[in-house]
Amino acid sequence: MPSGRSRTQTTPSTPGAHSSIQHQPQGQPPAIVRAFCAFANHPVVTIITGIGLLATGTMEFLEDIIVDFESIVQTYHGVLLMGVTLALRGFASFAEGVEWLGRVAKDEQEEEAFEHIEEEIEDLRDGPGAGTKAVGDGGGFRHG
């Protein structure tokens, strides 16, 4: 199956019942999360934010120095731009963290299921009455 595509897998949720669940390829967050994180952490976003802050600071500086200089750009515009950028990065980090926690929880569930299966196998190997031995000589029972 090509990587990057989601697949539909039928898994039993209760004995005898089946449900169709969309699964992501192992270890991959959903496409929307990957796209959002890529956008929020892209260097161009940082450059635009820096230029915006530099421009608003320069406009405020020029308004203080030159009496007749008026600008529609104010300092709060730069602060808003910085706030939006930081919020985007925060949401991206949050989404990555939630996705990571989901993977950890899934791994723990799989590990618990595996341990349960191993216990069941051990029980089957031991069989009924394991641990009790009949007293015998040469493989037969002694009748007293």
- What are the extents of the domains in the chain? 29-127
Residue 21 β-bridge partners: 9
Q: Is the pLDDT of residue 10 over 50?
A: no
Q: What is the model's pLDDT at position 140? A: 52
Mean pLDDT of 7-11: 44
CA distances from 142 to 28, 42, 88, 135, 138 (A): 65, 82, 81, 7, 10
What's the whole-number average pLDDT of the chain?
A: 75
Residues 6+ apart with CB under 8 A from 7: 1, 22, 23, 25
Residue 12 β-bridge partners: 18
Q: Are residues 88 and 39 in contact, defined by beta-carbon separation less than 8 angstroms?
A: yes
Confidence of residue 54 (pLDDT cuts 50, 70, 90): very high
pLDDT tens digits along 80-130: 989 999 998 898 888 888 888 888 888 888 888 888 888 888 888 887 655
Alpha helices in the chain (DSSP H): 31-40, 43-65, 75-126
Residues recorded for the chain: 144
Q: Considering only CA atoms, which of 94, 110, 100 is closest in space to residue 27? A: 100
For 41, the token pair is 């952490």
For 25, the token pair is 């390829």
Q: Is the pLDDT of residue 139 over 90?
A: no
Q: What is the model's pLDDT at position 24? A: 52
For 80, the token pair is 């808003």
